[in-house]
Homo-oligomer: A and B are copies of this chain.
Amino acid sequence: MVDVVVVGSIGLDTIETPFGKVQDALGGAAVYASYAASFFCKPGIVSIAGKDFPKTHIALLEKQGIDLSGLNISGKTFRWQGLYEYDMNEAKTLKTELNALQEFNPTLPSSYKDASYLFLGNIDPILQLQALQQMKKPRLTVMDTMNFWIEHKREDLIKTIKQVNVFLCNDGEARELFQTTNLVTAATKALALGPKFVIIKKGEHGALLFTESTHFNCAGYPLENIKDPTGCGDTFGGGFIGYLAKTNDLSEKNIRKAMVYGSALASFTAEDFSLQALRRISMQDIEKRFHAFREMKEF
């Protein structure tokens, strides 16, 4: 039995930033999200990887307590190559090889279908909905997305948004999807579609939570040494839902705390390449950073 079902990509990333380079490093939304969630509860991945996916990566995820019974192995692993230049806020995609991801058809192991928490990473919204519909009675469903789906599958995306409890996206995506530069307007439009909670991620500027009547501003952690921001958004999402699954408390107060835990975890991810920083940290480090978030908000 898993606590959180994480649906999304698994990939091998080749990334260059002003601070270094990695080749074929462990990556993908499902990996970052499940690894972040694993600090709080037992996640299970629904994804696809190729036959070339290193056994050491499988071993790493299993050692972290991540269930892989929903992982399909077929063909060649999805690969992404990206470059961050001086301004680390945006990656330039140099190459995308979808490979196995092209035939991804999320099928939940029967043991996953009773889970209470579902995280839908930024894959095709049709597949997200397909995964969602396999869940028997989820208590909380969270979906992420990306500009590609806004531009190419807008209607399907809207259809999926209508079915989830928490809609997660970044500020650029929110502006693009709802055709407004104003994030409050965008969030209001997203809420009108159905989700009870809308979270807009703003990278270094933190994240915003909107409900019908309230607003929470979650700060970004002030990092001087950012090595590689890849996976921060997915780490945020995974930490967020992982903490909620652990506490099983969906009050807005706890949703806010979950966002801070998600931000704390994401801040570690940015400090090194791939999952290297997440692999180094303990629950104590996370708690310490969580308290730093408190201190920097007090007035």
Contact = CB atoms under 8 A, between A and B. Distances in A.
Contacts of A183: 204, 222
Given A188-B224, A260-B299, A299-B260, A181 B86 contact: yes
A218 B298 CA distance: 9
Given A183-B204, A214-B295, 20 more contacts: A89-B181, A182-B223, A182-B226, A184-B223, A184-B224, A206-B217, A210-B222, A216-B297, A216-B299, A217-B296, A217-B297, A218-B299, A219-B297, A253-B298, A256-B298, A256-B299, A257-B299, A294-B299, A297-B297, A297-B299
B216 A217 contact: no
Contacts of A296: 214-217
B216 A184 contact: no
B208 A222 contact: yes
Interface residues on A, range: 35 or more
Contacts of A215: 222, 296
Interface of A: 86-89, 181-185, 188, 202, 204-206, 208, 210, 214-220, 222-224, 226, 253, 256-257, 259-260, 293-299
Nearest to A218: B299
11 contacts: A88-B181, A88-B182, A89-B181, A184-B222, A188-B224, A202-B205, A205-B206, A217-B220, A217-B222, A219-B297, A294-B299
A182 B224 contact: yes
Among A208, A253, A257, find the residue whose CB has the most chain B CB atoms closer than 10 A. Answer: A208
Number of copies: 2
A77 to B, nearest CB: 32
Contacts of A216: 296-299
B299 A253 contact: yes
Q: Across chains A and B, which 4 residue pairs bring their CB atoms closest together, nearest first? A: A217-B219, A256-B299, A184-B224, A205-B205
Contacts of A293: 299
A135 to B, nearest CB: 28
Contact of A224 (B185, B226, B259): B185
